[in-house]
Amino acid sequence: MVVNKRKRVYKKGDYATFILWCAIPTAVKTIYKKRGKEGIAELGFEPNEIFISLVKIYTKQEFCKEFTIGKNTLNQWENRPEFKEDLNKIIEKVNVIQFKKDVDFHFTRATIKNSDAPRVKLWKQLNEGWVEKNEQKNTDTLAVNVAGILKAKEELKLKEKSNATNGMGEEPIQPDNSNSE
């Protein structure tokens, strides 16, 4: 009986590099071939040494030659169930990083220009970690204060009642205000 075991990737670093290489759009590779570092810098990519080394590789055959990996290995990696998921994670990260600076810049500029309350509030939440006050805390405090006031009022009534009885348990004698002649 043959057991279908999932093979582990034994060259994890090369696998991760292959995913990064696959995540780079072909258009970026083409622009690099035609215009060099300046071309990809204009697209918003930072032309660092690692990125340039990957952009220079245009085909799978070139990738195999650069990293001394067999073409069958690349095919096995591409057929792995998690390959598409790993690739999509990298593409998402690259896109987020790629456009985050532009979005942040334009949002900040619009916030400064318009200064409308919702935009300023969102900007403060994103950039300064500002958190809106919770109104529930205020009602809790109010409930405690109201309960305290009611308790104090009740204690005052009891104290007044106690004073009114002269401490003897009897009602105080009221002066007679009638004029008797």
- Per-residue pLDDT, averaged over 59-82, amounts to 90
Whole-model pTM: value is 0.49
Spatial separation of the C-alpha atoms in residues 99 and 83, rounded to whole Å: 24
pLDDT at residue 2 above 50? no
Inform me whether the pLDDT recorded for 167 exceeds 70: no
pLDDT at residue 61, as a whole number: 93
Specify the DSSP element, H or E, that contains 148.
helix 135-164
Q: Map tokens 């998402």 to a residue.
A: 92
Q: DSSP class of residue 10?
A: S
Query: What is the pLDDT confidence band of residue 3, given thresholds at 50, 70 and 90?
Result: very low
Cα atoms in the 13 Å half-sphere on the side-chain side of 120? 6
Alpha-carbon distance of 75 to 78, in angstroms, equals: 5
Give the per-residue pLDDT at 62: 92
What residues contact residue 43 under an 8 Å CB cut-off, 6+ apart?
A: 28, 31
User: What one-letter code names the amino acid at 107?
Assistant: F
- Per-domain residue ranges of the chain: 12-80, 135-162
Nearest to 64 by CA among 20, 18, 7: 18
- Beta-strand (E) ranges in the chain? none
49/54 Cα distance (integer angstroms) = 9
Higher pLDDT, 29 or 96: 29
pLDDT at 40: 80
CA angle 88, 89, 92 (to 5 degrees): 80
**How far is the C-alpha of 17 from the C-alpha of 46, rounded, in Å?**
17
Cα(first)–Cα(last) distance of the chain, in Å? 129
pLDDT digit string (tens) for 102-135? 667 777 778 788 877 887 888 777 777 778 776 5
**Interatomic CA distance for residues 105 and 103, integer angstroms:** 5
